[in-house]
Structure 1
Amino acid sequence: MEDFNKLQEELKKLPKYSLEIDQKAKVLHSLRSQQNSPKKTFFLAPFFTVIGMCSVLFFLFFTNEATNKLSAHPGTVFTLPDRDQEVVGVEGKIGILVFKEQFVAEDMRRGSKLMLYYWGDPNVLVGKKYLVEAENKKGKKVELSRGILSDGLYIEDAHALANFPPFPTEGEWQLSFYVEDVLFDAFTIDVYPPFPKTEHYTLLDSPRELPVGEIFELYIESTIGEKEEIDVQLIDNKGNLMEETIFQRESLGYRNSQEIYLYKGDITLKDHGSWKLIIDGEQTGLFNN
């Protein structure tokens, strides 16, 4: 800009007959255009870059949502009349016998030794290959089980004993059931967040399953069991001590050749909110009930 002003002053000093006014204007306009041109490029380049990035993100966002939209209806809990058992699934088609009719992320306990019940034509079910696959809204897929369907044990037309791997994340998952690679039925479930845990202790009940305002018996699993009893404190999200109780050691078990100890005690969640536990001096993260 300084060079342009200097040149403009020099033009003014020229003899009047050297250039007409309109000719001077053309020269100045040309010089100004050349000087401003790089600046326009400088400012417009980032602008168009941002517009391009937004367009790509917009496309990816809506493409991803469309690709991973779950199409099945939510599963329901229904009772098997011949044995008074509750299962989750699609009544008259498919049912899963699982503890409390609920899965918890990262938990291998509830997924072990499940019963899968099928209703339909036994001729197209019994002795056929089955596959159970899970998918969430982010497109993450997990193969839950595969094998051969057996005769029904009771009123169902076919069944299978299965072991599901842990669901890697909480949230909505669609379970699809295939027989001989053909979709038999599907439904969605809400997988709860992982159990609250510390380095050596894990709560075996989901906070979402605990009744509000009632004394509830809880179990805590531990990989160390030197103590007959452990101190458990309930802390609210402001750091206030709401309850303190003693859990007693109940039993000893094994998982993958590792000793597992169970402690039992009572806790009362007086309201819905965010909480944490301090178990034998070890602190869990915040969890919601």
Structure 2
Amino acid sequence: MRFALLLFLLMFVLTSCSGENGVELEGEHVQRVNATFTSGQYEMLGQERKLGIIYDGSEVSRFYLGKTQKYMWYLWGDSKEFQGTFKVIASHQDNDEKLEVVKKSSIGGPLNGADAHIPSQISLPAEGQWRLDAYVNDVLFGSIDVMVHEG
């Protein structure tokens, strides 16, 4: 009986402290829908084998208020699907604000284990959680949630 209770508590603690729904970064609780995964030599944030951006938790890969930073988008799928344009619409979790943060861009070929890639520069104007909705040929391809920090 004690073993079963101990096992239950251990499983509860492990599932509460890990996984896709929250990650502790420098004392801040970051709410994330997306998990990180590895592709090639890079750690990415997004949907594994679907959509990702390089995200290793370093200052270079984090989002900072009003700071324009470079992000490489990676996509997986059929190459025919990527003959067209790519754009990203950002929406803040606390209001209805929507911004086109990546204008319609052409999609490049394979890179770092992905089937396609798109370089971008993104700046977000408010702190908090943002959803980045990626569109291929104006059809929602996938989403990545990120936190914007005061920098």
Which of the two has greater helix per residue? 1
The correspondence for 1:180, drawn from 134, 137, 143, is 137
- 2:66 equivalent in structure 1: 106
Aligned to 1:189, the other structure's residue is in SS state strand
- 1:98 Cα deviation from its structure 2 partner: 4.9
- Deviation string 1:171-213 (CA, Å, 9 cap, x unpaired) is 1111101011100111322222x22xxxxxxxxxxxxxxxxxx
The equivalent position to 1:129 in structure 2, one of 85, 97, 103, is 85
Aligned to 1:86: 43
Q: Residue type matched to 1:90 in 2? A: Q
The one-letter code sitting in structure 2 at the alignment partner of 1:143 is: E
1:98–1:115 Cα contact (<8 Å) kept: no
User: Which protein has the larger Cα radius of gyration, Structure 1 or Structure 2?
Assistant: 1
**Aligned-pair identity (%):** 30
Give the structure-2-normalised TM-score: 0.69
Amino acid in structure 2 at the alignment position of 1:89 = G
C-alpha distance in structure 1 between counterparts of 2:34 and 2:125, whole Å? 20
Distance in structure 2 (CA, Å) of the matches to 1:88 and 1:154: 14
**Deviation per CA, 1:51-90, whole angstroms, max 9, x where unpaired?**
xxxxxxxxxxxxxxxxxxxxxx71222221x2x2112111
Q: Which amino acid aligns with 2:128?
A: G
Answer 1 or 2: which has greater strand percent: 2
CA deviation map 1:10-46 (0-9, x unaligned): xxxxxxxxxxxxxxxxxxxxxxxxxxxxxxxxxxxxx
Which secondary structure state, in structure 1, belongs to the residue aligned with residue 63 of structure 2?
A: coil
Which amino acid is 1:77 matched to?
T
2:99 equivalent to 1:152: no
What per-residue deviation string (whole Å, max 9, x for no partner) do you get for residues 148-174 of structure 1? 11111242111111111x211111111
Equivalent AA in structure 2 for residue 161 of structure 1: P
The offset of 1:122, in angstroms, is 1.1
User: In the alignment, is the contact (CA less than 8 A) between 2:45 and 2:144 conserved in 1?
Assistant: no
- Per the alignment, residue 124 of structure 2 pairs with 167
Task: Provide the TM-score with structure 1 as the length reference.
Answer: 0.38
What is the CA–CA distance in structure 2 between the aligned matches of 1:119 and 1:135, rounded to whole Å?
Answer: 23
Structure 2 spans left out of the alignment, 5+ residues: 1-31
